[in-house]
Structure formats: C-alpha cells, structure tokens
Amino acid sequence: MNAFELDKVSFTYPSGTQALTDVSFVVEEGSSVALLGSNGAGKSTLLDLLLGLHPNGSITLYGKNLAAYGRKEVGRLVALVPQSEQFNFSFTLLEYTLFGRSPYLRQMQSPTALDAQIAFDALLEVGLAGFEERSITSLSGGEHQLLLIARAIAQQSRILLLDEPTSALDPANRRRTLSLLKGLHSKGKTLLFSTHDVNFAAELATHVVMLKGGRILGAGPIEEVVNAQALTTLYETEMQVGTIGSQTIMY
Amino acid sequence: MTDSHGYEQQIKRRRGALATMVVAPLLFAFISLFFGRYPKAGFTLPLDWQTNVMMRKIILNVRLPRIALALLAGSMLSASGYAFQMLFSNPLVEPGFLGVSQGSAFGAALMIVLGASSTLSVQLSATFFGLLALAASYFLARRFRFGGWLLRLVLSGIAVSAIFSSALAVVKLVAEPTKDLQDITFWMMGGLWNASWGQLFSILPVVLLSQVVIISQRWKLNLLSLGEKTSFSIGVNPKRDRTLLLVVATVGTTLVISITGLIGWVGLITPHIARKLFGSESSFSLPASMIFGSFFLLFSDTLGRTLLPTEIPIGLLTSLFGAIAFIIILSLRNQEGKV
C-alpha cells in the first residue's frame, strides 16, 4: 500500500498566495523521496499538508483520507523533523525525546518506563547516549539536528518528514545525519525530505519530486527523473550531473 | 541516569520531594493562625481557647478564611503564570504581561463606580475584561508587522495593558473619593484583608476546577511550548488546546484577583523557582510551582498583617520578594532539575 497519494492537490494561503497547484504524486511505502525546488517553490507547504496542518481532502495516508485521521493516529504514522526549533525552556535531552512518545499516551497519562527506554534507545541510535541529562539549550547545531531526529525516532512512526535536514550543518554533521537517515531507511522507514542540497538527495533518495512555482515539474525514481536539463530548468541555473565512482554528483 | 530504571528512580524521588513540600505551606498555615495583632502583636498561642469567644471568632472567621484564600490564590496565580509561560513559550510571561490583570482591574473598578452591590457582578466584570484583554493582546499580536511572534505578543500585551491602565485612571478620576476610590486603590495594591468564607466559597469551585484542568494537562503544556508545527506533529491540536488552557487560566486568575486585587510577581517567579528544582518538564515543576505560590502568598500575607500596626498591602510585599528572588535566580548558574 502507498504511504501517501496526492491527487491534484492545490492550496492557497488565506493571504491569497497560491502555493500549490494540481500536485499529484505517490509516495511508495519504504521509499525515500526528495522534494527539490527553489525557495518559494512550495516544498514546506507540501510538508505541512502531508502532516495534516492544513486539512485537504485530496491526500490519502495508507489508503485513507488524511483529514479523516485523528491527531494522535497521524502522530503514530507520520513524524516530523523540522528545519530547526527554538528552545525556550531547558528540557533535558531525555525529556525532549520523550515528547515523541506523546501520540501513544492516553489523556492525562505520563510516560512509562517503557517510553523512557524507547527514548534512551533513540538517543543511542543518533549518537547522543550519555547526554540524557544535558539541557537542550546547550547543544551545538549538529547535536540539535540529531536530537530532532531522536524525537522523531522515539515516535516510532512509519513515515518521517524532514524539512531541510542539512541546511545548517557542517560537512561532518551532514555526513553523520546522512548516515543516520540511510540507516533508518534501510530499516524500512519511508522518508520524505525537502532539501536544497541536491547531492544529499542523490545519496539518500530513491525518488524525487521536483516542484517549480507550486507545480510538479517531474516526479518518479531518481535515475529516471533527474538529469542536467531537468535540474537546469528547476533551478534556472546551469546544472550538470556526473559520477564519481558509483556516486552520482550534481553541480 | 543511564536507563529506564534511573528514570523511574528519578520519578519516585521527585514524587517524594513534592509530597514533602506540600507539608510546608500546610504547616505554616497552621502556625499562621496564631499570628496577628490580637490579643497582642505577633505570635500568640490561644491557651484560653475554650473561654475567649473573641479569639475563637477571629481565628475561625477572620484568619482561617484569609489563610485558605492565600493558599488558593497563591496556587492559582502560580498555575496560571506557569501555564502562560508554557503556552507562549516564553519564561517571562505571566497573565499581567498580556493585559489580563489590568483588564480585570478595569472591569472591577468599573463595576465599583457603577455602584454594583454584589460581589458576583464585580467578579463577572473582572473576568469578562480580563478575557477581553487577553483576546485583544492575542489578536493584536497577530496583526502586528514587527518582530517574531513572542516579541509581538509582549508588545501587544504592553499596549493593551497601557490602554486598560488609562481607562482605569479615568474611572478613578470619576470615582466617588470617600468610598469607591478607596476600593479601587485597594485593588491596585492587592490585599486579603476583606477575605471571608462567603467570598472564598464564591470563587472556590471555579478556581479549583481551573487548577484541576491545568494540572491534568501538564504533559500537554510541555508539547505546546514547542511551537505549533511540532506540537501538531506529535498528536496535539495546538489551536484548540492553547485556547482552552488560556481561557481556563485567565478565568481562574481573574476570579482570584476580583477578591484579592492585583498581586504581582507570584505567577512570574514561582515557575522559575520550581524549574530550578524540578527541571523544565511540567509533570513536577507545575505542581511544585503551585505549592511555592501558596507558601509565598501565605508568608507575604502573614508578614503583611503582623509586622506593622497598619497592614502592608500584599502586592507590595510580593513585588519586593519576587524581584529579589528574580535577581537571585537569574544570577545563578543555568542549571535546572536538582531534585
């Protein structure tokens, strides 16, 4: 069954800005989909729609209309890793990761020891084990990103939505994040991420969706859709596609 | 802490610490019964309890409702302050910052000047204008075209507070000087001196209900502090839940201050103290904040009614102690969750 199906999705903000027009594509279960496009192409809006933030009757999640799901139900199926998050309170890393367990908690229930173990495991998986008691306000940019992913892992969802996961990372942390996400994908998670880093997309994605001016420019398996001409049209600048060893490079 | 066993141990430890802390305000409440200016200034054990009718009446009908009101008001103001800080993701926010206190003060003053005879009409008016001020701050912040959300919110709160302060000043100008003006002035300084069983019971059910709702949603307060998109992604309906909690916290606060007048700093400072001890996660720091609030208000009131021949308005004392505590807390190393 497909994770997401979008059928001619359009969206206009209350201000009147048309963000998306007739967007249709399918996200297969277990795939890794890169959302490519220039600034303002509609990538973040699309992620918001897939999260259910703006109810839309043209999106299905595992065959059921997304708008018909309850909030916690969606939370158990879809997790979000935002581009960044402002930390105004000094939660510990463990407390913050435990927030990912919320879709599983009943009204007024607090996390159990099992939830805590899942959060510990998530921190271990992203390489932040041993820092559980540290304050989230003391994290570096790279650790910040890893923590956001840890919370999403603790959510134990089948789908992970990531908004520009490498936009603020140095090369070492970019590599760390890439390797972490590859690992999650190999374990069967469906990934859908927006990015300006086309080489990150080439390394992680099995499929791409190219958005231009809120419309689909191309969607499908990466090797079928991505070429120099398509990228040049997408970004309105000269782009090339080559290989180094077995790795596809775009520049 | 390295595993879930350590986590369970910490929960147990914090639960124990919280249970122990509850004893402090209750014990002080008992001792406070014997503080006052009758039969002499200071502490007096009522050894002639059986025969001294006046003493018995003062303890049961004057001091006891006043102490109960201090406990109730302190916990409510702290719970609201805590909730506001989490809901606006800003540790420097309390109902007063968003115009609620000034709105309530205006509402109460207006009723006093209009000659309202019942406590209920003053309470209703205070609650209505408190909610109106909150809504005005919220919607103005959405309309502002300057700065981020939190800055806009604080700025709109300042603007709304100023508008209600001006309106209050106008009401004071036209108030009858020998009676109404004094009542309004009391409002501005805060005090528990007119506490009675009747007044206490008039707000008790709704204030307790507000506290129960806020405590029951303490986990959600954490999630709502993360911002709209993130909280939505982990199963919360931020618009609905934030509105519900804001209304509940505001109604509780305005009912309390409709009797006590404006009491500043309690809602701002006690959440900070609680976080220093129990960390930022609300499961324990919210109830701890409420316990601190009860104790803080009771202590300030007991001091205010005992220290000088004339009673010191409680709002002055909470501002003094609150500001000192604030300076100390901000000067300490940024380390939380000691318990």
pLDDT digits over A108-118, tens only?
A: 888 999 999 99
- Determine the Cα–Cα distance for residues B60 and A232; give it in Å rounded to an integer: 84
Domain count, chain A: 1
- Specify the amino acid at residue A32: S
> Is residue B310 domain-resident?
no
> How many angstroms from the chain centroid is the CA of residue B102?
14
- For the record, the structure tokens of B305 come out as 């009614």
Which residues on A lie below 8 Å from B335 (Cβ)? 135
Q: How far apart are CA B222 and CA B283, in angstroms?
A: 9
Widest distance between CA atoms in chain B: 69
- Which CATH number is A223's domain given? 3.40.50.300
* A121 lies in some domain: no
User: Quick one: pLDDT at residue A238?
Assistant: 86
- The 3-class secondary structure across B121-153, one letter per residue, is HHHHHHHHHHHHHHHHHHHHHHHCCCCCHHHHH
The pLDDT value recorded for residue B337 is: 59
| pLDDT at residue number B217 | 96
Is B34 in a helix, a strand, or coil? coil
Do the chains contact at B280 and A91, CB–CB below 8 Å? Answer: yes
Torsions phi, psi for B335 (to 5 deg): -130, 130
Residue B226 lies in a domain: yes
Task: Determine the structural domain holding residue A180 and report its residue range.
Answer: 4-87+157-250
Q: Do A89 and B89 touch (CB under 8 A)?
A: yes
Cβ pair A120:B280 closer than 8 A = no
Asked if the Cβ–Cβ distance from A75 to B234 is below 8 Å, we say yes
Instruction: For residue B87, give both structure tokens.
Output: 């809901």
Q: What pLDDT does residue B158 have?
A: 92
Assess if residue A138 is contained within a domain. no
Please indicate, yes or no, if residue A9 is contained in any of the structural domains.
yes
Give pLDDT, residue A146: 94
Give the contacts of B317 (CB within 8 A, at least 6 positions apart): B300, B301, B303, B304
* Upstream peptide bond of B39 is cis (omega within 30 degrees of 0): yes
Residue B324: inside a domain: no
Three-state secondary structure call for residue B57: helix
| Per-residue confidence (pLDDT) for residue B90, from 0 to 100 | 85
Residue B234, domain member (yes or no) = yes
The pLDDT value given to residue B278: 94
Inside any domain, residue A96: no
Distance from CA of B262 to the nearest CA of A (A): 27
| Alpha carbons A185 and B199: distance in angstroms, whole number | 62
Q: What are the chain B neighbours of A135 within 8 Å (beta carbons)?
A: 334-336
Cβ distance A108 to B337 less than 8 Å, yes or no, reads no
- Sequence-distant (≥ 6) Cβ neighbours of residue B6 within 8 angstroms: none
Closest among B104, B165, B171 to B134, alpha carbons compared? B104
- How far apart are alpha carbons B256 and B207 in whole angstroms? 8
Residue B179 inside a domain? The answer is yes
Contact B89 A79 (CB under 8 A): no
Which residue type sits at B198?
Answer: G
Residue with tokens 């570096």: A140
**Does A103 sit within 8 Å of B1, measured CB to CB?**
no
Alpha carbon distance A208, A218 (integer Å): 8
Residues B2, B23: Cα–Cα separation, whole Å: 32
How many angstroms from the chain centroid is the CA of residue A239?
25
Nearest chain A CA: its distance from B284 CA (Å): 11
Evaluate whether residue B284 is within a structural domain.
no
Residue stretches of chain B with pLDDT short of 70: 1-2, 117, 333-339
Where chain A has pLDDT below 50, the residues are: none
Residue A100 pLDDT: 97
Does A239 reside within a domain? yes
Please give the interface size between A and B, counted as residue pairs whose CB atoms are below 8 Å apart.
105
Answer yes or no: is B223 within a domain: yes
Residue B223's domain comprises 61-261
Tally Cβ neighbours within 10 Å of residue B143.
Answer: 8
Q: List the CATH number of the domain containing B141.
A: 1.10.3470.10
Residue B338, pLDDT score: 61
Nearest CB to A89: which of B216, B232, B280? B280
Which chain A residues have a beta carbon less than 8 Å from that of B2?
Answer: 120, 130, 132
Pairing of strands A215-221, A190-194: unpaired
The answer to whether residue A235 is domain-embedded is yes
Q: Is the ipTM of this complex over 0.85?
A: yes
Position A60 in a domain: yes
| Alpha-helical regions (H) of B33-179 | 53-57, 64-87, 100-113, 119-143, 149-174
Q: How many domains does chain B have?
A: 1
